[in-house]
Amino acid sequence: MEYSERLKKLPVQFFANLVEKVNKAIAEGRDIINLGQGNPDQPTPSHIVKALQHAAEDPNMHKYSPFRGLQELREAAAHFYQTQYGIEIDPNREVAILFGTKTGLVELPLCLLNEGELMLLPDPGYPDYLSGAVLANADYRLFPLKAENQFLPDFKSIAKEQVEAAKLMYLNYPNNPTGATADLAFFEETVRFAKENQITILHDFAYGAIGFDGKKPVSFLQAEGAKDIGIEMYTLSKTYNMAGWRVGFAVGNAKIIEALNLIQDHLYVSLFPAIQKAAVSALTEEQTCVVELVARYEKRRNALIAACQEIGWKVEAPAGSFFAWLPVPTGYTSEQFAELLLEKADVVVAPGNGFGKFGEGYVRVGLLVDEDLLVKAVKRIGKLEIFQ
């Protein structure tokens, strides 16, 4: 039995390989500090868990959900965008419920692109963006995110022929892996660029709640005209520590939303209704838990940056997300430095080249352990005397 050519072309799952290395080191009995992961370490807030428990006891929740999700959840998503960002969303035409936004990110090229058509993807970027292109038999080109441009794309530097051919572009701010954020002016520029060149925009707003130094991340849909040319995807995984629950949604352009809903009509009957009820609770009830979570990540960020400076590692503090993007010392590739830290310091980081060509020269560190472990990890690295 042969696998399909489509399956054979899928990229190697970067995070699966990283997890395998970590598990091997742990199995050897080593005291590993894992800073390479992207999995929230805190529990889901108790009121959300209780909402699931209550809903799961209702026999009506044990039946098939409506194909396009509970009306209550679509209304909750619209309510969330109104209260958080001042954006009016039609719950009936402008919301698609997703099995986590990873699913939506992979589905969208299948909805909008024919074989061989072009999409533009950020480099460095979330590796699974490539999966959607491959599964759709679409073509893709990468545009660089560079430190000198605050890890924002320079639209003018993208080759003219690529801009003319492209049908779809992915953006992601706060950014994984760089921790960079984007302001409203950038998204207004994005709308102009997309309209001039007839390119659809998908903004991955996975870390939308996590901004530091008193600055709340901006939604792409806050830019005038954004709904004309794009959508935004929002996951509950990061904002509410619901990674394993697999629930998110897309909002924005009604035609694109209908495309997502249509493909999901054929792939799924929507999420377990009790999870949808819990998601309603998350989106519509008191948001103190989110404020506390962001404060926790900021405290961890500050501890990490201070510890790095203490050992002479010159790093920039991330403006958002729960990642730090740290430069590799001279004389090492990203892969070599990550291997050194694992073998000599029992510290796991994600090598930047796993996120693309322009990720070379960096490692990604997750702010997903407590401050004492972050500081302990950096002290172990300091003992290698690389930064002396």
CATH code, domain with 367: 3.90.1150.10
Look up residue 46 and give its DSSP letter.
H
| Backbone φ and ψ of 32, nearest 5° | -85, 135
**End of a domain among 250, 284, 318?**
284
Concatenating the DSSP letter of every residue in 139-173 gives EEEEEE--GGGTT---GGGS-HHHHHHEEEEEE-S
Cis status, amide bond into 144, omega within 30 of 0: no
Do 16 and 77 have their domain in common? no
Task: Give the tens place of pLDDT for each residue, 141-165.
Answer: 999 999 999 999 999 999 999 999 9
pLDDT at 12: 77
- CATH number, domain with residue 220: 3.40.640.10
Q: What is the pLDDT of residue 18?
A: 76
Confidence grade of residue 297 (pLDDT, cut at 50, 70, 90) = very high
Give burial (CB, 10 Å; 0-12/13-18/19+) of 17. exposed
Classify residue 56: in a domain, yes or no: no
Polymer length of the chain: 388
Within-domain flag for 204: yes
Q: Check residue 34 and give its pLDDT.
A: 94
14 and 83 in a common domain: no
Which residue(s) pair with 118 in the sheet?
A: 139, 166
Residues 32 and 149 in one domain: no
- Which of residues 237, 262, 284 is at a domain's end? 284
Note the pLDDT tens digit of each residue in 76-92.
Answer: 999 999 999 999 999 99
pLDDT in tens, 117-139: 999 999 999 999 999 999 999 99
Say what the pLDDT of residue 117 is. 97
At 2, is the secondary structure helix, strand, or coil? coil
Q: Which domain holds residue 306?
A: 5-44+288-382
Both tokens of 286, joined, read: 């008191």
Model confidence over 22-55: pLDDT tens digits?
888 899 999 999 999 889 999 999 999 999 999 9
Do residues 94 and 209 both lie within one domain? yes
In contact, 357 and 142? CB cutoff 8 Å: yes
Q: What is the pLDDT of residue 269?
A: 85
- CA atoms 49, 55, 57, 63: torsion sign: negative
Q: Decide: helix, strand or coil at residue 387.
A: coil
Residue 52 lies in a domain: no
In a domain, 331, yes or no: yes
In the chain, the percentage of residues whose pLDDT exceeds 90 is 92
Question: Residue 111's closest CA among 173, 193, 200, 194?
Answer: 200
CB 24 within 8 A of CB 18: no
DSSP class of 113: -
pLDDT surpassing 80 at residue 14: no
If asked whether residues 70 and 156 sit together in one domain, one would say: yes
Same domain, 272 and 299: no
Task: State whether 278 and 344 are in the same domain.
Answer: no
The answer to whether residue 387 sits within a structural domain is no
**DSSP per residue over 53-96, as a string?**
HHHHTSGGGGSPPPTT--HHHHHHHHHHHHHHH-----TTTSEE
Q: How many domains does the chain have?
A: 2
Do residues 173 and 275 both lie within one domain? yes
High-pLDDT (> 70) share of the chain, %? 100
Of 284, 317, 347, the last residue of a domain is: 284
